Amino acid sequence: MNVLVINAGSSSLKYQLMNPETGDVAAKGLCERIYIDGRLTHKVGDNKVEKDIPMPTHSEAIQAVLEILVDPVDGVIKSVDEIDAVGHRVLHGGMEFSDSCIVNDDVIKAIKKCIPLGPLHNPANLMGIEACQAVMPKTPQVAVFDTAFHMTMPPKAYRYAIPTEYYENDDIRRYGFHGTSHKYIARRAAALVGKTEFKMVNCHLGNGSSMSAIKDGKCMDTTMGLSPLAGVPMGTRSGDIDACVVQFICNKYGMSVDDCLTMLNKKSGVLGLSDGLSSDFRDLEAAAGEGNEACKLALQKFYYEVAKYVGAYAAALNGIDVLTFTAGVGENGITTRQAICDYLGFMGVKIDPEKNNVRGKETLISTPDSKVQVWVIPTNEELMIAQDTAELVNAAK
Ligand code: AMP
């Protein structure tokens, strides 16, 4: 089976043509500068092709992707009919979606209803879906929501302690994000530890970071909230912050709430703490190594907050069996993993420095006598989207 996985942003569109059973990627690429001029980067194995193609809308971008996929030289299939289904990443499923689903008119309406919750991403995700429907009307489309995995959280985890009317009238609650990644890691962890009933904390640590408390494969709590701003400090996001900070800054500097939120989303996190030096952990580690105090603090703050959430979730789950690290920093950050685990000795976490000396490879990094198995598991959101898509499309046959 061939599944085309699409992640449509406001001016870009990423794609992968993959086999959901084997995870093999036939081709992948990126359309950029949609609405501006249009640029396609297409990769088949190590071969890379770059083309300037006019992309006045997402529709032309999808068209360009389909054309290059069937191109006699750069393509990997003979006809668009060889694409059995399309899986779309959709950011916000609100309270409408607790699972992936085949796209129909009702699904489109419900995704539109979630636009106030995901104002930047949902319209772009919809444009991707509608563009595919237009150019390949007979091919089933599946929507995979970044929030869906977290819909198993109990009310005590997802409700904010504010008046009920905001939940009942406005759907204001914790939703959580990176759900496709957390779901993929929960499944891989179950396969690696060889059981389905166990308690784990997954640390998805990348430019955006979130953590989930997971019991028997189901999400019980997660660090991001109504938006991806909440939780641990990230590359450029502040993470959890007292709402009065917003009031104070807006009043003092005559800043609008929107501008203040842009500052908290784009100029904060480790970038803000490092005095604007970098949001990239490699740069911060290098500068900290040379004695830069701001970078040292940025890293210390990150390790500390991640470790605090592991402790909080271990309490919420009454102990954990497995701790997993994934995404750019989680998969590659040897120092980061060591520093976080150094806080967790009290709960019997012990990692082996030699085993921890690994990047981007599924590895058990804890010692045999550690009370908690600690794993590095590279995430694969595209594969999870392709698998959900294949499952739904096969079931509907
Ligand atoms: P992601 O958002 O998952 O793509 O993660 C991106 C982040 O991973 C980058 O900003 C880097 O900070 C981090 N990263 C990538 N490679 C390394 C590495 N070798 N060591 C530490 N951090 C890394």
Beta sheet of 39-44, edge-to-edge order: 47-52, 39-44, 25-32, 13-18, 3-8, 85-90, 141-145, 101-102
Rounded average pLDDT over 5-11: 93
Distance separating alpha carbons of residues 350 and 225, to the nearest angstrom: 30
Gyration radius of the chain over CA positions: 21
The CATH code belonging to domain 194-376 is 3.30.420.40
Q: pLDDT tens, 256-315?
A: 999 999 999 999 999 999 999 999 999 999 999 999 999 999 999 999 999 999 999 999
- pLDDT category at 120 given cuts 50, 70, 90 is confident
What pLDDT, on a 0 to 100 scale, did the predictor assign at position 212?
99
What pLDDT, on a 0 to 100 scale, did the predictor assign at position 10?
86
Indicate whether residue 333 lines ligand 1 (CB < 6 A).
yes
Q: Is the pLDDT of residue 166 over 90?
A: yes
* CA–centroid distance for 84 within its chain: 25
Which atom of ligand 1 lies nearest, measured to the CA of 284? 12
Q: Where in the chain is the domain with CATH 3.30.420.40?
A: 3-145, 194-376
Question: What phi and psi, each to the nearest 5 degrees, are found at residue 220?
Answer: -105, -25
Q: Report how far apart, in Å, the C-alpha atoms of 368 and of each of 190, 349, 355 are.
A: 18, 11, 11
Distance separating alpha carbons of residues 31 and 8, to the nearest angstrom: 9
What pLDDT, on a 0 to 100 scale, did the predictor assign at position 24?
98
Atom 17 of ligand 1, residue of closest alpha carbon: 332
In the chain, the percentage of residues whose pLDDT exceeds 70 is 100
Indicate whether residue 280 lines ligand 1 (CB < 6 A).
yes
Q: Report how far apart, in Å, the C-alpha atoms of 118 and of each of 86, 115, 175, 312 are.
A: 22, 5, 11, 28
Least confident of 26-30, 130-134, 143-147, 392-396: 130-134
Give the residues across from 85 on adjacent strands.
3
Q: Which of 209, 210, 279, 280 to mutate to test the pocket of ligand 1 (most atoms within 8 A of CB)?
A: 280
Q: What is the pTM of this model?
A: 0.96
Q: pLDDT tens, 62-105?
A: 999 999 999 999 999 999 999 999 999 999 999 999 999 999 99
What pLDDT, on a 0 to 100 scale, did the predictor assign at position 277?
98
Tokens at 397, concatenated = 């046959």
What pLDDT, on a 0 to 100 scale, did the predictor assign at position 155?
98
Mean pLDDT, the chain, rounded, equals: 97
Q: Domain 3-145 is classified in which CATH homologous superfamily?
A: ATPase, nucleotide binding domain (3.30.420.40)
Which atom of ligand 1 lies nearest, measured to the CA of 336? 21
What pLDDT, on a 0 to 100 scale, did the predictor assign at position 5?
98
What pLDDT, on a 0 to 100 scale, did the predictor assign at position 260?
98
